[in-house]
A and B are shown apart, each in its own frame.
Chain A
Amino acid sequence: MRPFDYRRAGDVAQATAAAGDATAAYIAGGTNIIDLMKLEVSTPARLVDISRLPLHRITQTQDGGLRIGAMVSNSAVAADMAVRQRYPLLARAILAGASGQIRNKATVGGNLLQRTRCAWFQDISAACNKREPGAGCAAKDGPNRMNAILGVSGHCIAAHPSDMAVALRALDAQIEVTAADGATRLVAMDDFYRLPGDAPHLETCLAEGDLVTSVILPPPTAETQIYRKIRDRASYAFALVSVAAALRMQDGRIAAVRLAFGGVAPRPWNDPAVEQLLIGQPPSKDLFVHAGEALVAPAIGHGGNDFKITMVQRLLAAVLREASE
């Protein structure tokens, strides 16, 4: 671990000002960045502690949605009554991830920005384009059981590890970002995360000093919300694959559906074509099979993770069956 400066920010302006260069990093719950600093995967010269910023509240928005402060702990989101009643998908996804201790420390903002757990990303002696642009990708030909099958490139097959973010994608959440100049903007999930392409080290749309301040949930539009996750043990394991679904039936047909997938891509995965294929249709086994095939049409396995291609189809079909009953 390398020496670093530590500054505690009292307000958002102080935070963005203190973090306005490439050598700085924010720290909130610290459940990920501390590990990465010990391994010297992350080597910030300055940590800006944002854990005391006044972003600890969950409030109603004017249109009937929710605003969740970036410093609200994962546990607090999952326990919030409004979340549990109106966005049960979010509560279930959060509780499907990490452990009780980690959820108590980890924040909403930190969860969104956690790094991939790809084994070679976490090993500074291995080739990793995400950690060291141009170094190569050791994961492609290694035991890559936990790596991604969708949205990957020849330069990187890392998977995003979050459960919470998968739920937020299915709920069409937006992320509020405050820039160093004080300006705030709202970013959709798909615009927030970049796909690796030929620059896997660039993971989000955030510029230096940008701070995630809130997550905004629109009013819930679907009656049925489901989160299911397949993992190698019953708790405290990242998803092999997960499916988040928000679905509304009308007159025996699927009237609205939002789907997002975890464990399979560098970001919470969504495919509008799959949703379009389902909308207006009566639920059937064939329809769900068709949706699964469409979902994995662009999938690429790398040996150790080939199984995810069929696994995610199975899980999608089961989730759709349950949601449309």
Chain B
Amino acid sequence: MTETLKLDGPSREALLDRAAQGAIGRGLDRPEGPLKVTGQAGYAADARLDGMVHGVLARARQTGTITDHRLEALKAMPGVVLVLTDGIPRNPAQGAVPTAPPAADGVAYTGQPTALIVAERFEDAWHAALAYDPQITPVAHDLDPETAATVETPEDKQRADDGWQDTWDAAPTKVDVTVTTPSLTSAPMEPHAAIAMWEGDQLTLRGGLQMLKFNRKSLADALDMPVAKIRLLAPYVGGGFGSKLGVAQEAVAAALAAKQLGRPVSVVMHRRQVFEATMRRSESRQRIRLACDDAGIIRATAQEYRVSNLPGEAFSEPVARADRAFYATDKLKITHEIARIHRMAAGSVRAPGEAIGIPAFEMALDELAEAAGIDPLELRLKNTVEADPISGLPFSSYPLADTLKAGAKAFGWQHRPPRQQQEGEWWIGQGLASAIRGHFAAEAEARVSLTAQGAIVETDQTDIGTGSYAILRQITGEMLGLDPADVEVRLGDTAFPPAFGSGGSAGAASSGTAVLLACRALRKRIAASLDAAPDDLTLKDGHVIHGNRRTALAQIVPQEGWCEQGHVAAGDISDKVRTTTCGAMFAQVAVNAVTGEIRVRQMHGTFAAGRILNHKTATSQCHGGLIWGIGMALMEELHHDPRDGAVVNRDFAQFHIPANADVPPLSVDFLDAADDWGGPLGALGLGELSISGAAGAILNAVHNAAGIRIRDMPATPDKVLDALDKLGS
């Protein structure tokens, strides 16, 4: 039996509010944590299969048409068993795409992998891959988004409200700010990897993948074979951040090579390949105009931006959406330009859109506060809304004002004019930004088996370091009255019922609801066996309490156990409510007047994302977003060589992310309250919320400290010194 629910209206699971077991919400450790820290969790490339050989992707050094792969010498190199050039995709598939990644047609970007070298030993394959140097007829391409000949403006992504200009012209206070952000990498700790093995016409592929249901279909399309003949395994994924949403080159190449050789093939991208051949976050140039009236209420809003991608890619960084606003405004103008250039593909990197759109907007808001002579916190409070001012739709929950007030109190917000506080060479200041991120849930299925020993959860949902193993245990424990330790969660295998996967912060709400539904069905079985109504049962500590009787589950559940499925279907609620998560982030920074270095001294975030399923993993996710905000504000940048578009700094020594010394004490609070439009769990997507604005809090604090506005991220010491000089320090 399958318990099904379509998410097309509000719903609530009272058992979670009652929390008889006390499992839900608790900050339980990840059950797989000990395996991970002792090296026993098997990641994609950890398997050593009999007869396995090693493939290394080889890069093309310039763009153009390959006239000769020059393979003869490579094939003669020691240990080489196969050189494959046909069928390697141009770049990875985008997220939640069930079709094959785009086919290659020549070399579209410098560093594109255009061959796979397979050898008995990894070192031999690597050596031959470095020697790969195909003959290429160069083709001149646009490389710079600012000068690109082809700039697309899709109609559904633009907006220009009638009367915008009049409203702007009439407003007494306005700012016109341009913020630029560079290309950024997701580069998870685990590089992209796949091990492919064929048994007859059946393919088993272990991979670093985020969304198995889609990945399986995409791979089947790429290999032109039935979906049912593919099994994907991804029980542990060492980070994704969007870069593993879609099937990438290594998975397709491993499958093709394994088929040709009749042997298992392992393909692991080198760190440098992850940097130059998977997905980047597009650079952006965002012109933001805000105008407010004398009371500080925003009347006109414009966010006009340019991002880029390779020709043919449907994805473009959704910096700001044409159909919504999150603060008061009468008129909205959105311009979304996509420059077609030949840098590596752009795709979803953690919180695509909001991650760079909200910080830029929040920086402009800070400038508006200054222009209007209003405290930045006060300005935001004046402009919070109950309903989306563009669509008129109410928010299902949007306690932005509450998070701002609670966060300000927890942080100790005291806004003074810039340059009021100095310690030696250091200017000290505070800044804030709101966090705003859309929420959605998607179709997902899960199976839960209940036996006398406990419960087993099975779904092809992945855990990319986010805590899926932990929260699915807790949901099951709460619903079935089990100690979470008696719940085993099995993930990342397409033999299990299909979930949505890890993307768009939708994993918990989607697969968590499917698990909840399966548990509801099991409760019905228990109730039926007792001739009781499910709602009259209390399940706790492995026992059923009904009336004044307490019976061990082990005495009720048959030897072979019960197994039930849950299926949540995404309903369309877009004409009823807007589901959104929000928060407020505060930073204290120090800016060195001599060296231009910025140090973040303290950060706090108060977030609202419906019911918090596990306070520990939720806090960790929010820490991650704040830290990424530090990186975005201060140091992260892919340097593209203007001559060929290549990524120059393609390892972690050259692409800086925050080191321990860059991360100050972080504190995180939640306004923990179920949102009935988030499904019966009441949980909204959390993972990407805390990056969506964080860099803005830091750069606003930099202004408060030193009186300078750094609008070109990242705020490296040279830019800070330049700004200080212009200020006349």
A-side interface residues toward B, CB under 8 Å? 1-3, 38-40, 99, 117, 119, 124-125, 141-143, 145-146, 228, 230-237, 240, 307, 310-311, 314-315, 318
* Residue of B717, B718, B721 contacting most chain A CB atoms (<10 Å): B718
The 4 A-B residue pairs whose C-beta atoms are closest, nearest first, are A307-B718, A234-B661, A235-B661, A143-B639
Contact with A along B677-707 (1 / 0, CB 8 A): 0000000000000000000000000000000
What would 24 A/B residue contacts be, using CB atoms closer than 8 Å? Answer: A1-B126, A2-B127, A99-B659, A119-B649, A124-B130, A125-B59, A125-B61, A142-B641, A142-B642, A142-B643, A143-B640, A146-B654, A230-B597, A231-B717, A233-B635, A233-B656, A235-B659, A235-B660, A236-B661, A307-B721, A311-B596, A311-B718, A315-B595, A318-B595
A282 to B656, CA, bound (A): 41
User: Of A2, A234, A236, A240, which one neighbours B718 at CB under 8 angstroms?
Assistant: A240
Apart from A99-B659, A232-B656, what 14 extra A-B contacts exist at CB < 8 Å?
A: A1-B123, A119-B649, A125-B133, A143-B648, A146-B654, A230-B597, A233-B659, A233-B662, A240-B718, A311-B595, A311-B596, A311-B717, A311-B721, A315-B595
For the complex formed, measure the closest distance between the CB of A312 and the CB atoms of chain B, giving whole angstroms: 11
Given contacts A230-B596, A232-B635, A236-B659, contact A40 B127 (CB under 8 A): yes
Q: Is the CB of B594 within 8 A of A234?
A: no
* Minimal Cβ-Cβ distance residue in A for B122: A1
In chain B, positions 118-162 with a C-beta closer than 8 Å to chain A are 123, 126-127, 130, 133
For the complex formed, measure the closest distance between the CB of B110 and the CB atoms of chain A, giving whole angstroms: 9
For the complex formed, measure the closest distance between the CB of B273 and the CB atoms of chain A, giving whole angstroms: 13
CB of B178 within 8 Å of the partner chain: no
A38 to B270, CA, bound (A): 11
Q: Which residues of A contact B425 (CB under 8 A)?
A: 318
Q: Which residues of A contact B597 (CB under 8 A)?
A: 230-231, 234
Q: Is the CB of A315 within 8 A of B594?
A: yes
Q: Which residues of A contact B595 (CB under 8 A)?
A: 228, 230, 311, 314-315, 318
A117 to B653, CA, bound (A): 9
CB of B722 within 8 Å of the partner chain: yes
A38 to B653, CA, bound (A): 15
CB of B634 within 8 Å of the partner chain: yes
A141 to B721, CA, bound (A): 24
Q: How many A-B residue pairs have CB under 8 A?
A: 83
Q: Which residues of B contact A233 (CB under 8 A)?
A: 634-635, 656, 658-659, 661-662
Q: Is the CB of A314 within 8 A of B641?
A: no
For the complex formed, measure the closest distance between the CB of A302 and the CB atoms of chain B, giving whole angstroms: 13
Q: Is the CB of A234 within 8 A of B659?
A: yes
Q: Is the CB of B594 within 8 A of A318?
A: yes
Q: Is the CB of A143 within 8 A of B656?
A: no
* Residue of A141, A143, A235, A311 contacting most chain B CB atoms (<10 Å): A143
Q: Is the CB of A119 within 8 A of B659?
A: no
Q: Is the CB of A142 within 8 A of B599?
A: no
CB of B716 within 8 Å of the partner chain: yes
B-side interface residues toward A, CB under 8 Å? 59, 61, 123, 126-127, 130, 133, 425, 594-597, 599, 634-635, 639-643, 648-649, 653-654, 656, 658-662, 716-718, 721-722, 725
A3 to B127, CA, bound (A): 10
A145 to B123, CA, bound (A): 32
Given contacts A143-B648, A233-B656, A234-B662, contact A307 B127 (CB under 8 A): no
Q: Which residues of B contact A240 (CB under 8 A)?
A: 717-718
Given contacts A117-B653, A142-B641, contact A232 B594 (CB under 8 A): no
User: Of A142, A228, A236, which one neighbours B648 at CB under 8 angstroms?
Assistant: A142
For the complex formed, measure the closest distance between the CB of B100 and the CB atoms of chain A, giving whole angstroms: 29
Q: Which residues of B contact A40 (CB under 8 A)?
A: 127, 130
A99 to B32, CA, bound (A): 29
A141 to B648, CA, bound (A): 12
A117 to B660, CA, bound (A): 22
Q: Which residues of A contact B648 (CB under 8 A)?
A: 119, 142-143
For the complex formed, measure the closest distance between the CB of B308 and the CB atoms of chain A, giving whole angstroms: 17
A115 to B59, CA, bound (A): 25
A240 to B721, CA, bound (A): 13
For the complex formed, measure the closest distance between the CB of B370 and the CB atoms of chain A, giving whole angstroms: 27
For the complex formed, measure the closest distance between the CB of A111 and the CB atoms of chain B, giving whole angstroms: 16
Q: Which residues of A contact B659 (CB under 8 A)?
A: 99, 233-237
Q: Which residues of B contact A311 (CB under 8 A)?
A: 595-596, 717-718, 721
Q: Is the CB of A307 within 8 A of B599?
A: no
For the complex formed, measure the closest distance between the CB of B69 and the CB atoms of chain A, giving whole angstroms: 16
Q: Which residues of B contact A125 (CB under 8 A)?
A: 59, 61, 133
For the complex formed, measure the closest distance between the CB of A228 and the CB atoms of chain B, giving whole angstroms: 8
Q: Is the CB of B716 within 8 A of A1?
A: no
Q: Which residues of A contact B660 (CB under 8 A)?
A: 235
Q: Which residues of A contact B61 (CB under 8 A)?
A: 125
* Minimal Cβ-Cβ distance residue in A for B62: A125
Q: Is the CB of B654 within 8 A of A119?
A: yes
* Residue of A3, A40, A230, A315 contacting most chain B CB atoms (<10 Å): A230
Q: Which residues of B contact A1 (CB under 8 A)?
A: 123, 126-127
Given contacts A40-B127, A314-B595, A318-B425, contact A232 B643 (CB under 8 A): no
For the complex formed, measure the closest distance between the CB of A241 and the CB atoms of chain B, giving whole angstroms: 9
A70 to B594, CA, bound (A): 35
Q: Which residues of B contact A38 (CB under 8 A)?
A: 126
Q: Which residues of B contact A231 (CB under 8 A)?
A: 597, 717
* Minimal Cβ-Cβ distance residue in A for B657: A233
Q: Is the CB of A232 within 8 A of B717?
A: yes
A314 to B641, CA, bound (A): 29
A119 to B658, CA, bound (A): 20
Given contacts A40-B130, A230-B596, A234-B662, contact A143 B718 (CB under 8 A): no
Q: Which residues of A contact B641 (CB under 8 A)?
A: 142-143
For the complex formed, measure the closest distance between the CB of A200 and the CB atoms of chain B, giving whole angstroms: 19
A88 to B642, CA, bound (A): 43
Q: Which residues of B contact A119 (CB under 8 A)?
A: 648-649, 654
For the complex formed, measure the closest distance between the CB of A127 and the CB atoms of chain B, giving whole angstroms: 11
For the complex formed, measure the closest distance between the CB of A33 and the CB atoms of chain B, giving whole angstroms: 15
A1 to B635, CA, bound (A): 32
Given contacts A143-B641, A315-B594, contact A232 B127 (CB under 8 A): no
* Minimal Cβ-Cβ distance residue in A for B592: A230
For the complex formed, measure the closest distance between the CB of B577 and the CB atoms of chain A, giving whole angstroms: 42
Q: Which residues of B contact A318 (CB under 8 A)?
A: 425, 594-595
A230 to B594, CA, bound (A): 10
A233 to B658, CA, bound (A): 7
A106 to B59, CA, bound (A): 32
For the complex formed, measure the closest distance between the CB of A148 and the CB atoms of chain B, giving whole angstroms: 15
Q: Which residues of B contact A145 (CB under 8 A)?
A: 639
For the complex formed, measure the closest distance between the CB of B388 and the CB atoms of chain A, giving whole angstroms: 39
A234 to B627, CA, bound (A): 14
A311 to B717, CA, bound (A): 9
A1 to B121, CA, bound (A): 11
Q: Is the CB of B661 within 8 A of A117?
A: no
Q: Which residues of A contact B717 (CB under 8 A)?
A: 230-232, 240, 311
For the complex formed, measure the closest distance between the CB of A211 and the CB atoms of chain B, giving whole angstroms: 27
For the complex formed, measure the closest distance between the CB of B629 and the CB atoms of chain A, giving whole angstroms: 14
* Residue of A3, A146, A314, A315 contacting most chain B CB atoms (<10 Å): A314
Given contacts A240-B717, A307-B721, contact A234 B599 (CB under 8 A): yes
* Residue of B594, B649, B659 contacting most chain A CB atoms (<10 Å): B594
Q: Which residues of A contact B721 (CB under 8 A)?
A: 307, 310-311, 314
* Residue of B595, B640, B658 contacting most chain A CB atoms (<10 Å): B595
Q: Which residues of B contact A117 (CB under 8 A)?
A: 653-654
Q: Which residues of A contact B126 (CB under 8 A)?
A: 1, 38
For the complex formed, measure the closest distance between the CB of A149 and the CB atoms of chain B, giving whole angstroms: 13
* Minimal Cβ-Cβ distance residue in B for A314: B594
* Minimal Cβ-Cβ distance residue in A for B664: A234
A232 to B654, CA, bound (A): 10
For the complex formed, measure the closest distance between the CB of B192 and the CB atoms of chain A, giving whole angstroms: 18
Q: Which residues of B contact A315 (CB under 8 A)?
A: 594-595
For the complex formed, measure the closest distance between the CB of B62 and the CB atoms of chain A, giving whole angstroms: 9
Q: Is the CB of B722 within 8 A of A307?
A: yes
A230 to B130, CA, bound (A): 35
